[in-house]
Structure 1
Amino acid sequence: MPIGEICSHLGIPRSTYYRWRKKNETETSRQAIERKIGTLCQENKFRYGYRKITALLNQEIPINHKAVQRVMQKYGWQCRVKVKKRKQTGQPYYIADNLLGRNFQTDKPLQKLATDITYLPFGQKQLYLSSIQDLFNGEIIAYSIGDCQDTAFVLDTLLQLPSLSKGCILHSDQGSVYTSYAYQQEVKGKGIIMSMSRKGTPADNASIESFHASLKCETFYLDELRSTTTAIVEQTVENYIHYYNNIRIQAKLTNQPPVQYRQLAG
């Protein structure tokens, strides 16, 4: 039957029916968007705030960040990550000048690198993570996991680096492993220019400090893995680094993951 006849039999105006249908379609659309937001939050283990969830949604449908924020607040889907900071450790032996000067910007890959060590106190024994980050896109290009924070440990990470162009800067803190004779000789042998943070100033190496904080906050603290096995700690770190490099979007990279940003820039 035509809509007009149905409305006539029911004794209601046609405008009432169309108003009801429009409202019903709007409700269905809103529910679909809420489900999509919930799915994205769960897929990313509640590591993303509303801005990054909005960026992911905008790849498919246009939506305002305030609408996304309201939905996430409504259902308690906000980012559950809290940044954990640690104090810088290590006694300096040889100190290089701070050539980076907190200028973390560069327009080419493998021109400015940053390295640091962080604690992984979540397994059956104390582990450490040594990482080297390309400041062009934040990509982790070398890393080592070990139970001894010595010079051999950081040399293992350094030796993973590919061939570097002349003038590449590697920035670290003043830890004794970085100021050691063996490390400095290997750095010079690779044609790398060494740069070091000022003593007690972790902000001078903020980019890789931020990566290490994100790694722990978005895995061990978020999933409450405070006491687990050594194998799980190692696998968690390896999985996160792959996720960070290839999947995790970053606002400063126009909401792309590091590897994709590098590939498109190249």
Structure 2
Amino acid sequence: MLALIQRHGLAILDQPYTEYSLEFKQQAIIRVLVKHEPAYQVAIDLGLKSNGMLANWLRSYRENGYNVVIKQKGRSPHAQTRSRNQTSEARKRALTPAELEADRRERIYKKIDRLSRPADQEPQAAEIARAVTQLRHELKVSVTFILAVINANPNLPHLSRSNYYYNLQKKDKDRGNQQVMAEIKAIYEEHRHRYGYRRITLELRRRGLLVNHKKVQRLMNKLKLFGIVSKRWHKYNSYRGTQGPIKTDLIKRNFSAVYPEHKWYSDVTEFKLNGQKTYLSPIVDGCTQEVIAYSISRSPNLKQIMDMLKQAWRKHPALNGLIFHTDQGWQYQHPKFQAWLKDHGIEQSMSRKGNSLDDGLMEGFFGILKREMFYGFEAQFKSLKELEEGIQKYISYYNQQRIKVKLKGLSPLEYRALVLS
């Protein structure tokens, strides 16, 4: 109390009861678990009248799967439980034994079928065992009955009696991994669910935590943290037949380069939002994977491509010997485009007709871009202007923050600095 008065003055004694928000609790917990500040000091800094209040938040955070839970107002949980139990008992008395058994089977089916998991994976045995224990107490039936119902249904994951008791008695081996789990969740949220276990492993190592990628994968499964799943995306096709000289494919699917400004790649992709369209044309470096320059236009015209080239040249004026690779889009066959490349000492390369894999580096970049900031997030953009601002922010994030396994766990700009050092 003396420390509180010294920190906040005597007014702290007259402070009325305060309801703390979810964000307030999250920040307090992060300071203790992630930044490793003493809980006593955090409680004083935040003006908490009791150090036990923060301890309760930390305990609740761990017990609820590393989530902050705000207690709901209204009737107490005991009153709600009594009401539900009374309703359930009255309903049971009204059912015949056969109807009661059918009702119990239906509730078991629903409970097990709703276990959260990725679409292509079975729930873990420990998760099923916890659900079986909950059903025992809710339905007042034996473990044998529940397991028999589960194992008789081919659409449900099966669990043997011995495996149930093994998981029931097995100690939680992750009790000592609370710090790592908190860091994993912080990284996952910081990058807006874009990181899977591989990049989270690399980010943990950047932060000084040497953790095996298999452990990270297991902890993420336990925390129900899953990266964004790939989706098929629509590719804009700018091919209009042969309209100019077609250049040889100098890349032959060997997209990487030893040093920057040796191989550049470009293409145009289309975004559709509320019946309207906008087009992105970027240049990606084959060595650093960074977006060198880009332009956004409401129509896929030659000016967009020329603006992109001039922007790239202003940043990197020494381009003699550079190979510039594209598909056979009409823009890249245009005499003005080809003349600009020749005047700047750039050698042009083109994919073969109908071979999208020849331009695979750009295909991959567009897939990442749309998966991580557009598909599934369309509702966040009210207009094309907001979408274009979102694209610009993502490209900045992609260059400066988004680490890549192929770049030794560095972002594109960090890798450029490493290569040029």
What letter matches 2:205 in structure 1? N
Q: State how far apart, in whole Å, the 1-side matches of 2:179 and 2:376 are.
A: 27
Q: Is this contact kept in 2: 1:129–1:143, CA < 8 A?
A: yes
Q: Is this contact kept in 2: 1:142–1:160, CA < 8 A?
A: yes
Residue in structure 2 matched with residue 93 of structure 1 by the alignment: 243
Provide Cα deviations, 1:226-247, integer angstroms capped at 9, x if missing partner.
7631221111111111011110
* Distance change (3 Å), C-alpha of 1:218 and 1:24: closer
Deviates more, 1:147-156 or 1:117-126: 117-126
Residue in structure 1 matched with residue 182 of structure 2 by the alignment: 35
Residue in structure 2 matched with residue 5 of structure 1 by the alignment: none
Provide Cα deviations, 1:202-252, integer angstroms capped at 9, x if missing partner.
111111221111111101114344763122111111111101111000111
Residue in structure 1 matched with residue 267 of structure 2 by the alignment: 116
Q: Aligned ranges for residues 57-96 of structure 1 at < 5 Å?
A: 57-59=204-206, 60-87=208-235, 89=237, 90-91=239-240, 92-94=242-244, 95-96=246-247
Deviation at 1:164, TM superposition (A): 2.9
* Distance change (3 Å), C-alpha of 1:57 and 1:156: same
SS at match of 1:160: helix
Q: State how far apart, in whole Å, the 2-side matches of 1:141 and 1:227 are.
A: 25
Deviation at 1:83, TM superposition (A): 3.7
SS at match of 1:236: helix
Q: State how far apart, in whole Å, the 2-side matches of 1:174 and 1:187 are.
A: 15
Q: State how far apart, in whole Å, the 1-side matches of 2:368 and 2:361 are.
A: 11
SS at match of 1:121: strand
Q: Does 1:128 align with 2:128?
A: no
Residue in structure 2 matched with residue 49 of structure 1 by the alignment: 196
Q: Is this contact kept in 2: 1:144–1:156, CA < 8 A?
A: yes
Q: State how far apart, in whole Å, the 1-side matches of 2:274 and 2:201 are.
A: 35
Q: State how far apart, in whole Å, the 2-side matches of 1:25 and 1:104 are.
A: 44
Deviates more, 1:205-214 or 1:217-226: 217-226
SS at match of 1:195: strand
Q: State how far apart, in whole Å, the 2-side matches of 1:124 and 1:155 are.
A: 27
Q: Would you identify which runs of 4 or more consecutive aligned residues in structure 1 move more than 6 Å? A: 23-26
Q: State how far apart, in whole Å, the 1-side matches of 2:361 and 2:336 are.
A: 25
* Distance change (3 Å), C-alpha of 1:61 and 1:158: same
What letter matches 2:417 in structure 1? Q
Q: State how far apart, in whole Å, the 1-side matches of 2:284 and 2:177 are.
A: 41
What letter matches 2:309 in structure 1? L
Q: State how far apart, in whole Å, the 1-side matches of 2:263 and 2:231 are.
A: 25
Q: Is this contact kept in 1: 2:260–2:287, CA < 8 A?
A: yes
Q: State how far apart, in whole Å, the 1-side matches of 2:335 and 2:416 are.
A: 34
Q: Does 1:104 align with 2:255?
A: yes
Query: TM-score under structure 1 normalisation?
Result: 0.85
Q: State how far apart, in whole Å, the 2-side matches of 1:236 and 1:119 are.
A: 14
Q: 1:209 aligns with which of 359, 363, 369?
A: 363
What letter matches 1:58 in structure 2? R
SS at match of 1:221: coil
Deviation at 1:88, TM superposition (A): 5.9
What letter matches 1:120 in structure 2? F
Deviates more, 1:84-93 or 1:231-240: 84-93
Q: Aligned ranges for residues 178-193 of structure 1 at < 5 Å?
A: 178-193=332-347
Residue in structure 2 matched with residue 248 of structure 1 by the alignment: 402
* Distance change (3 Å), C-alpha of 1:128 and 1:88: closer
Q: State how far apart, in whole Å, the 2-side matches of 1:119 and 1:102 are.
A: 23
Q: State how far apart, in whole Å, the 1-side matches of 2:214 and 2:202 are.
A: 12
Q: State how far apart, in whole Å, the 2-side matches of 1:222 and 1:43 are.
A: 18
Q: Is this contact kept in 1: 2:220–2:226, CA < 8 A?
A: yes
Q: Is this contact kept in 2: 1:113–1:132, CA < 8 A?
A: yes
Q: State how far apart, in whole Å, the 1-side matches of 2:288 and 2:231 are.
A: 21
Higher helix share: 2
Q: Is this contact kept in 2: 1:49–1:79, CA < 8 A?
A: yes
Q: 1:177 aligns with which of 309, 312, 331?
A: 331
SS at match of 2:230: coil
SS at match of 1:126: strand
Q: Is this contact kept in 2: 1:122–1:220, CA < 8 A?
A: no
Q: Does 1:265 align with 2:419?
A: yes
Query: TM-score under structure 2 normalisation?
Result: 0.55
Q: State how far apart, in whole Å, the 2-side matches of 1:263 and 1:101 are.
A: 28
Aligned CA RMSD, in angstroms, stands at 2.0
Q: State how far apart, in whole Å, the 2-side matches of 1:100 and 1:117 are.
A: 19
Q: State how far apart, in whole Å, the 2-side matches of 1:25 and 1:49 are.
A: 22
Q: Is this contact kept in 1: 2:282–2:308, CA < 8 A?
A: yes
* Distance change (3 Å), C-alpha of 1:86 and 1:203: farther
Q: 1:138 aligns with which of 278, 289, 300?
A: 289
Corresponding residue pairs, total: 243
Q: State how far apart, in whole Å, the 2-side matches of 1:255 and 1:155 are.
A: 33
* Distance change (3 Å), C-alpha of 1:88 and 1:145: closer
